[in-house]
Amino acid sequence: MFDLTGKVALITGSSRGIGRAIAEMFAKAGARVVVSSRTAEACEEVAEAIRAQGGEALVVPCNVSHREEVEALVAKTYEVWGQIDVLVANAAINPVYGPMSALDDAAFHKIMTANVLSPLQLCNLVLPDMAKRGGGNVIILSSIAGIRGNPVIGAYGVSKAADAALARNLAVEWGPKGIRVNAIAPGLVKTDFARALWENPEVLAKVEGQNPLRRIGQPEDIAGTALFLATDASAYITGQTIVADGGETIC
């Protein structure tokens, strides 16, 4: 039920962190994986690691903030492998660390373009073909920052709340065509992206102190959740936001 043999999985932001962990885990489950981020060199390192383990990987660089690059990413995947069975919209940015009162319009638009508009663009490019082929799976990376307030990453949280809403609405629209769309809301995970949080001793101590598992997440923790959502193991789940935070939000 956790087999992806014969499937093609396109994963944005997969040169490091959660995206890389998802790409590597999907490849081990049998998927042909499209590794994509802004730089080809970083992607190729991941692809080589996957190939060294006997997997198949295609590198397609893409800055998801640029629609023409998003279109080229999808087009290249179809050109080489002819299909996309699983789409993981993982790429995201957070250029601002501080209160929303200090947020300028340009930064807000930048966050919303990369974190919300690009997943929608990807879905609009990929889902029609999935429907023609009888179904598929989409996973959008949200965050617990989209569930509760945060004094330093508020705009990012707004974008991640929108991602959860995007998953719900796309699930309603495309469910009759056999397509499932879900979101994952990670808690604090030890990645370069979240370094400003987990390198802060006060933040780290607070999370580890109140988290029932007494630790922050690792990229593989989120990859396992993604594998569940990408396979038949979750065949009756759609439109949901799966919280993977070690229980942080229940306390």
**pLDDT tens sequence across 37-47:** 999 999 999 99
CA–CA separation, 60 vs 10, rounded Å? 10
Tokens of 135: 């179904």
pLDDT of residue 193: 82
Which pLDDT band, with edges at 50, 70 and 90, does 19 fall under? very high
The pLDDT tens digits of the residues spanning 216-240 come to 999 999 999 999 999 999 999 999 9
Q: Cα-flanking dihedrals φ and ψ of residue 9, to 5°?
A: -120, 125
Q: Kindly indicate whether the domain formed by 8-244 is annotated with CATH number 1.10.3720.10.
A: no
The 10 Å CB-count burial string (b at 16+, else e) for 40-70 is: bebbebbbebbeeeebebbbbbbbbbeeebb
Query: What pLDDT, on a 0 to 100 scale, did the predictor assign at position 118?
Result: 98
Mean pLDDT score across all residues of the chain: 96
Residue 196 has pLDDT above 80, yes or no: no
- In the numeric block, which tokens belong to residue 128? 């029609």
Alpha helix locations (H) across the chain? 17-28, 40-52, 67-81, 105-112, 118-132, 154-174, 195-198, 201-210, 219-230
Q: Six-digit token pair at 174?
A: 């495309």
Give the domain ranges of the chain: 8-244
Task: Work out the angle at residue 123's Cα, subtended by the Cα atoms of residues 117 and 124, and round it to the nearest 5 degrees.
Answer: 90
Res 58: pLDDT: 98
Q: pLDDT by residue (tens digit) across 62-81?
A: 999 999 999 999 999 999 99
Question: For position 219, what pLDDT does the model report?
Answer: 96
236 is catalytic: no
Supply the pTM of this predicted model: 0.96
Cα separation, 73 vs 206, in Å, equals 40
Q: Using CA atoms in the order 200, 183, 119, 122, what is the torsion angle rounded to 10 degrees?
A: 140
Q: Tokens 């039920």 label which residue? A: 1
According to DSSP, the residues that pair with 242 across neighbouring strands are 184
CA distance 219 to 74: 25
